[in-house]
Amino acid sequence: MRRRIGPWLVPAFGGLAFLFLLVPIAYVFAFSFNDAGRTNLSWRGFTLDNWRNPCGAPAVCESLANSLQISSIVTVIATILGTAIAIGLVRLRFKFNATANMLIFLPLATPEVVLGASLLAQFLNIGVDLGVGTIIIAHSMFCISFVVVAVKARVASLDPKLEEAAADLYASPIQAFWRVTFPLLLPGIVAAALLAFAMSFDDFIITNFNSGNVDTFPKFIYVAATRGIPAQANVIGSAMFIIALLIVIGGQILSNRRAKMLAAR
Amino acid sequence: MTMVQTKPESPNTDADDQGADLRLAAITKRFGGFLAVDNLDLEIPAASFFALLGPSGCGKTTTLRMIAGLEQPTSGSMSIGGKDITGTSAHERPVNTVFQNYALFPHMSVLDNVAFGLKRRKIRDHQAKAKQALELVELGHLSARRPAQLSGGQQQRVALARAIVNEPALLLLDEPLGALDMKLRRQMQGELKRIQTDIGLTFVHVTHDQEEAMTMADTVAVMNQGQVEQLGAPRELYELPRTAFVANFLGKSNLVAGEIIEDRGDAVVISAGGNRLAVRKDRSTTHQGKALIGIRPEKLRMMWPADAPADGSNILRGRVLDSSFTGVSTEYLVEVAGIGPVGVFSQNHGQQLAAPGDDVVLTWDTAHAFGLDGDEDTQAGAREAEAAAT
Ligand SMILES: Nc1ncnc2c1ncn2[C@@H]1O[C@H](COP(=O)(O)OP(=O)(O)O)[C@@H](O)[C@H]1O
Ligand SMILES: [Mg+2]
């Protein structure tokens, strides 16, 4: 009995798990074609109108633009600072190295409500107007931690002899960084940047505390949920999913092709 | 030091550095409280093949890294061709290194690896020159590959090409053959030597393998605990070691402790366990009091008691403890009363072999013995030599 079921068990559970993951996405995708009217809760018939005019509903695209802008800036800030910190933590031996290594984890371990609330208190204390600026500061804070953790692993696996070889071959420290260190860290940095973008784009709790009256996309959806989410939100959600999927598939194809090219030589 | 003019048509921009002597003066390196290199003075003549030989941990790599500029000495100074380079960074020195594990750039093709140094110095025709260097190490056909797609031996050649293409004043090699298997190692030894002779660069070769150092180098410096014990041509070091460490680390030696009892003018006689052993004065570091007398196992002649000369010096009577026949030769261990076990290396001339328990007589030419300071440890370097051989 066991022998016959065994081989089926893993694929069956795997398939179920995938189904479980994909059903909500399929739902969002399907309802992006709903001729919804005011609320997008029940199916009212197929239409392409939502896709033709994704900015049709009021404030959807405005909040999306805010989110894209904020996440892009945050990604740049967090990736640059996080990479620098990661290299520093691995390579430099300083007195509070171990402490710094632990502190960098704190933003990841602290509940978001706590972070959001205490940041808000700080902003109010020093009298900063809440808005895009404060959101960027708040997001950068926790995204840096993600970047540091992701890039640190890559730096740790980098052979310091390679930089010495570069120096030995007449590369100044700056040249050695850009010609050897950076290209070797790049896959880790790109992964970290994507992660930072996703984390920032997705964040609701911390944003909600520190955004004033600026709407990000998640905040817009949350507020809209009480009145009924416009079908355009499904369009944008689906589009984001498809873009992410294309990036992943594209990356796979590229690395496959490179591996094949190298093998062929 | 003689300046050897190499390749006058050399396209190297640092033409002055070509064929330049390296000089280390009182170089010391401490890591915290640990003394890794101890007041080292060294002069490496241009265009020579120089070997730094010593057991693991004696400071060879540290010395090399200081020459390369990857490590700064705690004190002391160094110069290349008379130009002081103390305190300059690695990328400013006309020195290139073949790293122990090659340190090839994994994200670049073999050709780009080799062209790296040329590009940094903005040399024209860097691709063509890099190709040429790859041809020299017989890897021209693999220039488009990535390092990960090469065998260990091939990676080793790429590392060599990447260094020599820059025509440095000094090429440093840190145990470059350490990761290769024995057969490839012997082959690369010959090839390295050929390349060095062909292009006339100065090679500083670090190794813990005494055979490698002796077959390849013009000059060998034997290092121990951060200091150079002795420096000279391989033959010179082997035939006339000046310390017990060199005598034991470079090949094998029988070292016997005794007291100098007679001065014959050009030689002294040492009494050890009732035996009279002579050593020439110019081959001994001490001429009175306690002394060690050393004799290489292959310099000993073993004979039957009946054939032995009547009494005189340089005669040891003993009994064979152990023998091992290897074909070309037989290695004996002979117990000599008052001295202890003595190693003998006897070439196979077709003579009758002695067996354990046989009484034998050992004798040798006075010109082959050497004398060392009496307070030296007879076993110094023996353990290190054992460790280096494995
Ligand atoms: N960066 C360092 N920090 C502390 N000690 C070191 C360092 N580098 C080398 N040493 C020590 O210095 C000694 C000499 O090392 P090394 O030059 O690598 O020896 P070798 O190359 O002859 O085996 C060793 O005992 C080693 O442990
Ligand atoms: Mg070493």
Residue ranges per domain, chain A? Answer: 59-229
- What integer pLDDT is reported at residue B249 of this predicted model? 93
**Residues linked to residue A121 through DSSP beta bridges, in sequence order:** none
- What amino acid is encoded at A200 in this protein? S
In angstroms, rounded to a whole number, what is the distance separating the alpha carbons of residues A52 and B250? 85
Is the Cβ of A160 closer than 8 Å to some Cβ of chain B?
Answer: no
**Tens digits of pLDDT across chain A (265 residues):** 455 677 788 888 999 998 998 898 888 888 888 887 767 778 888 888 888 888 877 788 889 999 999 999 999 999 999 999 999 998 887 888 888 888 888 888 889 999 999 999 999 999 889 999 999 999 999 999 999 999 999 999 999 999 999 999 999 999 999 999 999 999 999 999 999 999 999 999 999 999 988 999 999 888 888 877 888 888 888 998 898 889 889 988 988 887 777 665 5
Contact A161 B103 (CB under 8 A): yes
Question: What fold characterizes domain A59-229?
Answer: MetI-like fold (1.10.3720)
ipTM computed for the complex: 0.82
pLDDT at residue B10 greater than cutoff 60: no
In angstroms, rounded to a whole number, what is the distance separating the alpha carbons of residues B208 and B100? 12
Closest to A183 (Cβ–Cβ): which among B69, B96, B107? B107
Inter-residue contact A189 to A108 (CB < 8 Å): no
Inter-residue contact B202 to B210 (CB < 8 Å): no
Inter-residue contact B57 to B36 (CB < 8 Å): no
Is the Cβ of A184 closer than 8 Å to some Cβ of chain B?
Answer: yes
CA–CA min distance A46, chain B (Å): 51
Contact B166 A168 (CB under 8 A): no
- What integer pLDDT is reported at residue A262 of this predicted model? 65
What lines the ligand 1 site, CB under 6 Å? B 31, 34, 36, 54, 56-62
In angstroms, rounded to a whole number, what is the distance separating the alpha carbons of residues B95 and B88? 12
Count chain A–chain B contacts defined by CB atoms under 8 A.
Answer: 61
Residue ranges per domain, chain B? Answer: 13-238, 252-377
In angstroms, rounded to a whole number, what is the distance separating the alpha carbons of residues B255 and B300? 13
- What integer pLDDT is reported at residue B109 of this predicted model? 94
In angstroms, rounded to a whole number, what is the distance separating the alpha carbons of residues B170 and B179? 23
Instruction: Tell me how far the alpha carbon of residue A246 lies from the centroid of ligand 2, in angstroms.
Output: 49
Inter-residue contact A50 to A32 (CB < 8 Å): yes
Beta strand B301-303 pairing with B315-325: unpaired
- What integer pLDDT is reported at residue B13 of this predicted model? 40
Which numeric CATH code is attached to B252-377?
Answer: 2.40.50.140
Burial of A46 (0-12, 13-18, 19+ CB in 10 A): exposed
- CATH fourth-level superfamily of B13-238: P-loop containing nucleotide triphosphate hydrolases (3.40.50.300)
Instruction: Tell me how far the alpha carbon of residue A24 lies from the centroid of ligand 2, in angstroms.
Output: 59
pLDDT at residue B241 greater than cutoff 70: yes
Q: Which atom of ligand 1 is nearest to the CA of B64?
A: 17
Tell how far CA B88 is from the center of its chain. 28
Nearest CA to ligand 1 atom 8: B62
pLDDT at residue B9 greater than cutoff 50: no
Least confident of A49-58, B39-48, B208-217: A49-58
Q: How far is CA B263 from CA B6, B75, B240, B369, in A?
A: 49, 44, 20, 16
- Cα dihedral A234, A239, A244, A248 in deg (nearest 10): 120
Q: Tokens 């074609």 — which residue?
A: A33
Q: Is the dihedral of CA B261, B264, B269, B275 positive or negative?
A: negative
Contact B103 A159 (CB under 8 A): yes
Q: What residues contact B118, with CB distance under 8 A and at least 6 apart? A: B126, B129, B130, B165, B166
CA–CA min distance B343, chain A (Å): 44
pLDDT at residue B4 greater than cutoff 90: no
Q: Which is nearest to A120 in space by CA: A112, A106, A130, A133? A: A130
| Structural Rg of chain B based on CA atoms | 25
Provide the strand spans (E) within B122-218.
Answer: 170-174, 203-207
Q: SS3 of B317, please? A: strand
| Mean pLDDT, rounded, for B359-367 | 93
Greater pLDDT, A60 or B234: B234
Contact A165 B144 (CB under 8 A): no
- What integer pLDDT is reported at residue B19 of this predicted model? 54
Is the Cβ of B89 closer than 8 Å to some Cβ of chain A?
Answer: yes
Contact B120 A169 (CB under 8 A): yes
- What integer pLDDT is reported at residue B239 of this predicted model? 95
Those residues whose beta carbon sits under 5 angstroms from the ion ligand 2 are B 61
- What integer pLDDT is reported at residue A139 of this predicted model? 94
At residue B14 the predicted structure's pLDDT band, cuts being 50, 70 and 90, is: very low
In angstroms, rounded to a whole number, what is the distance separating the alpha carbons of residues B70 and A166? 11
Contact B99 A165 (CB under 8 A): yes
Q: What is the DSSP letter of B370?
A: E
Give φ, ψ of A170 to 5 degrees.
70, 15
For residue A156, the tally of other CB atoms under 10 A from its CB is: 11
Q: Which is nearest to B259 in space by CA: B281, B291, B282? A: B291
Find the distance separating the first CA and the last CA of chain A, reported in whole Å. 50
- What integer pLDDT is reported at residue B5 of this predicted model? 40
Instruction: Tell me how far the alpha carbon of residue A114 lies from the centroid of ligand 2, in angstroms.
Output: 52
Tell how far CA B118 is from the center of its chain. 31
Q: Which is nearest to B16 in space by CA: B195, B196, B200, B168? A: B168
Q: SS3 of A168, please? A: helix
Q: What residues contact B372, with CB distance under 8 A and at least 6 apart? A: B241, B242, B243, B244, B247, B255, B284, B285, B286, B291, B292, B293, B294
Pocket test for ligand 1, best of B27, B30, B31, B173 (most atoms within 8 A of CB): B31
Closest to A167 (Cβ–Cβ): which among B70, B144, B146? B70
Inter-residue contact B124 to B136 (CB < 8 Å): no
The residue of chain B nearest to residue A172, with distances taken between CA atoms, is: B91
CA–CA min distance A166, chain B (Å): 8
Instruction: Tell me how far the alpha carbon of residue B367 lies from the centroid of ligand 1, in angstroms.
Output: 39
* Interior angle at CA B64, CA B214 and CA B236, nearest 5: 25
> What's chain B's average pLDDT?
89
Residue of B99, B112, B123, B146 to mutate for A, most A C-beta atoms under 10 A: B99
- What integer pLDDT is reported at residue A263 of this predicted model? 63
* Interior angle at CA A52, CA A46 and CA A55, nearest 5: 110
In angstroms, rounded to a whole number, what is the distance separating the alpha carbons of residues B104 and B143? 13
Judged by CB atoms within 8 Å, which residues 186-205 of B form the interface with A? none
Q: Taking the model in full, what pTM does it have? A: 0.81
**Element of type H or E holding B75:** strand B75-80
Is the Cβ of B120 closer than 8 Å to some Cβ of chain A?
Answer: yes
Pocket test for ligand 1, best of B29, B34, B65 (most atoms within 8 A of CB): B34
For residue A264, the tally of other CB atoms under 10 A from its CB is: 6
- What integer pLDDT is reported at residue A2 of this predicted model? 53
Instruction: Tell me how far the alpha carbon of residue B223 lies from the centroid of ligand 1, in angstroms.
Output: 13
